[in-house]
Structure 1
Amino acid sequence: MTLTVGMITTDTTDAESLASWWAEQTGAEVAETNDGWFAIVRGGSLPVWLAFQKVETVTAGKNRLHLDLTTDTDLDAEVERLLAAGATLVARRGDESFRWVTLADPQGNEFCVSGKH
């Protein structure tokens, strides 16, 4: 048996809003909204679907699973674009041989962005 990743789902208190934010950042589209309780983002630069599931309360603390994204443009410029779009800076990491930046989306879910490696 072989498993493949079909979708990555994130809990959120506002599925449509967070789906729209991620769709805008990845050049994808919100493909389904399901009355606001479950939204699916697909297309653009995404190799898998992203889903956002409405919950009453999100789990507090650092998420144990996160997206590692790469950019084929300037890393610093991409980070500034994401910050201007509503992401928050968690930490700049690495050294001159490999750098990445940890950010959080508008709902506090952490993700990392690096240059191509």
Structure 2
Amino acid sequence: MTYHRITLEAINLEAANPNDLAKFWAAVTGVEPSAGGDSVYLPPNGPGGFGMFFQPESEPRAARQVAHWDLTVPWGSRVAEVERLLGLGATHKWDVLDEVPHVQWTTLADPEGNLFCVAGHPPADHQGS
């Protein structure tokens, strides 16, 4: 049996205001949005990146979010990146700084309440310290 490498093409989100939410994520990722009808597309921000589609909500938002995405930044830059994202309109939810030695993260919400994490992974010689 042949296995193919599977990669993430895009995240699809329903939004109360697709244009505004796409503008937030465009500022986060550094790419330009491309509108088409009621939907907006953000291309990947480089090799290995992923696109994002924003479309109008088809029904009321669920009370509980069952998935979120984890974004990774270089070790030592998480705090500055979180501050930048807060300045763009994200909301701070919580920090996890000492639960496991191989990662520290901050959980944020975008302007429509979608959760996402900003994580940094310390080099091996900094783990557990």
Q: What range is the shorter-chain TM-score in?
A: 0.7 to 0.9
The 5-angstrom pairing of residues 2-81 of structure 1 reads 2=4, 3-30=6-33, 32-35=34-37, 37-45=38-46, 47-55=49-57, 57-72=59-74, 74-81=77-84
Q: Name which one, 1 or 2, has greater alpha-carbon Rg.
A: 2
From 105, 108, 113, the counterpart of 1:103: 108
Deviations 1:20-57 (A, max 9, x none): 11011111121x2123x211001325711111111154
Which sections of structure 1, spanning at least 5 residues, go unmatched?
Answer: none
CA RMSD of aligned residues (A): 2.1
The one-letter code of the counterpart of 2:106 is: V
Cα distance change on mapping 1:58 and 1:25 into 2, 3 Å? farther
- The residue aligned with 2:89 is 86
Give the total of aligned pairs.
115
1:115 matches 2:126: no
Q: Compute the displacement of 1:63 (Å).
A: 1.7
Which 5+ residue runs of structure 2 have no aligned equivalent? 123-129
8 Å contact 2:14–2:56 — kept in the other structure?
yes
* TM-score normalised to structure 2 length: 0.77
Contact 1:66 1:111 in 2 (8 A): yes
